[in-house]
């Protein structure tokens, strides 16, 4: 068997003395693994870095076998992704989210989203909002999508301010205020048609929102721990957003980038 597709490197593990097992995300084949012979060579190591886009050819005698990859570089962005803490942690955290999905199960929109986000992760002003939307997309593909388009109680689409922790549906301010202490906050930038960017407070609430449903529906039932990279990313993204919101352009570049 053989197929060829563009692939984004998610991770690499050693295999023997000279080879590696590479984990990738493809558009038509989903998350996929395969061995790269000579993957630890000087010529291949720069290519097989998390975040890089490659052209992958996979071969195996049977579909269920691990198989072997041949890879050619398309976009080498790993070095750029190492420049900020948001990008370093973001690559790891998104890879961990994709590992929640079944291997070889195609999710083309997640592949497309990952490719776009990786091109913008080094910008700390955008990284947090993009990551939250990626978490929402993964929740949806796992069967636990949130309905943030209309109020669960009244059906209205305006002034949505809360999310029910039981149903995962939006609730308008008027209907939710009596039970506000039991509700999750719906950040304005996540409402349908919103034209506002995330600030420090709304981004913090967004991380709390997605984290709540990931824990309830995914991590706790499976008995697994949330990836440490998510906490690292949140800290870096929040620090960067707060600095930017204060207009502190005089800070050193590494601090402004959230490192």
pLDDT in tens, 91-149: 999 999 999 999 999 999 999 999 999 999 988 778 999 999 999 999 999 999 999 99
Does one domain contain both 41 and 137? no
Q: How confident is the model at residue 252 (pLDDT cuts 50, 70, 90)?
A: very low
pLDDT of residue 78: 95
Range of 105's domain? 81-148+186-256
Nearest to 51 by CA among 32, 79, 70, 27: 79
- Asked whether residue 250 carries a pLDDT value surpassing 80, the answer given is no
Does one domain contain both 6 and 66? yes
pLDDT of residue 251: 40
Does one domain contain both 138 and 119? yes
Domain boundary (75, 109, 132) is at: 75
Domain boundary (28, 45, 75) is at: 75
pLDDT of residue 257: 41
The domain total for the chain is 2
Give the CATH number for residue 10: 2.40.50.140
Does one domain contain both 119 and 54? no
Does one domain contain both 71 and 85? no
- Asked whether residue 258 carries a pLDDT value surpassing 70, the answer given is no
- Which one-letter DSSP state was computed for residue 90? H
Does one domain contain both 247 and 130? yes
pLDDT of residue 255: 38
Does one domain contain both 217 and 106? yes
Residue-averaged pLDDT of the chain: 92
Q: Give tens-digit pLDDT for 144-168.
A: 999 999 999 999 999 999 999 999 9
Domain boundary (59, 75, 91) is at: 75
Does one domain contain both 139 and 194? yes
Name every residue whose Cβ is closer than 8 Å to that of residue 38 and which is 6 or more positions away in sequence: 18, 19, 44
Q: How confident is the model at residue 242 (pLDDT cuts 50, 70, 90)?
A: confident
Tell me if 170 is assigned to some domain.
no
Does one domain contain both 95 and 53? no
Tell me if 172 is assigned to some domain.
no
- In terms of DSSP H, where are the helices of the chain? 78-81, 85-98, 108-118, 124-141, 173-176, 200-214, 220-222, 228-245, 253-256
pLDDT of residue 129: 94
């Amino acid at each position: 068997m053989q197929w060829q597709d563009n692939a984004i490197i998610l991770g690499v593990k050693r295999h023997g003395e000279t080879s590696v097992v590479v984990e990738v995300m493809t558009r038509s084949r989903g998350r996929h693994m395969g061995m790269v012979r000579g993957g630890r060579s000087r010529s291949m190591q720069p290519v097989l870095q998390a975040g890089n886009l490659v052209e992958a050819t996979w071969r195996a005698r049977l579909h269920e076998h691990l198989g072997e990859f041949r890879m050619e570089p398309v976009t080498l962005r790993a070095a750029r992704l190492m420049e900020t803490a948001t990008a370093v942690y973001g690559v790891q955290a998104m890879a961990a989210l994709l590992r929640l999905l079944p291997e070889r199960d195609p999710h083309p929109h997640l592949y497309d989203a990952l490719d776009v986000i990786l091109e913008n992760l080094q910008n700390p002003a955008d990284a947090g909002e993009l990551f939250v939307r990626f978490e929402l997309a993964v929740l949806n593909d796992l069967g636990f999508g949130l309905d943030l388009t209309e109020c669960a109680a009244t059906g209205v689409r305006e002034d949505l301010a809360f999310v029910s922790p039981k149903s995962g549906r939006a609730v308008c301010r008027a209907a939710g205020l009596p039970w506000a202490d039991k509700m999750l906050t719906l950040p304005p930038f996540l409402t349908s048609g919103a034209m506002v960017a995330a600030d420090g407070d709304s981004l913090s609430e967004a991380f709390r929102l997605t984290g709540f449903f990931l824990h309830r529906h995914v991590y706790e039932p499976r008995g697994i721990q949330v990836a440490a990279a998510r906490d690292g990313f949140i800290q870096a993204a929040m620090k960067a957003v707060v600095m930017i919101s204060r207009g502190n352009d005089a800070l050193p570049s590494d601090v402004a980038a959230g490192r």
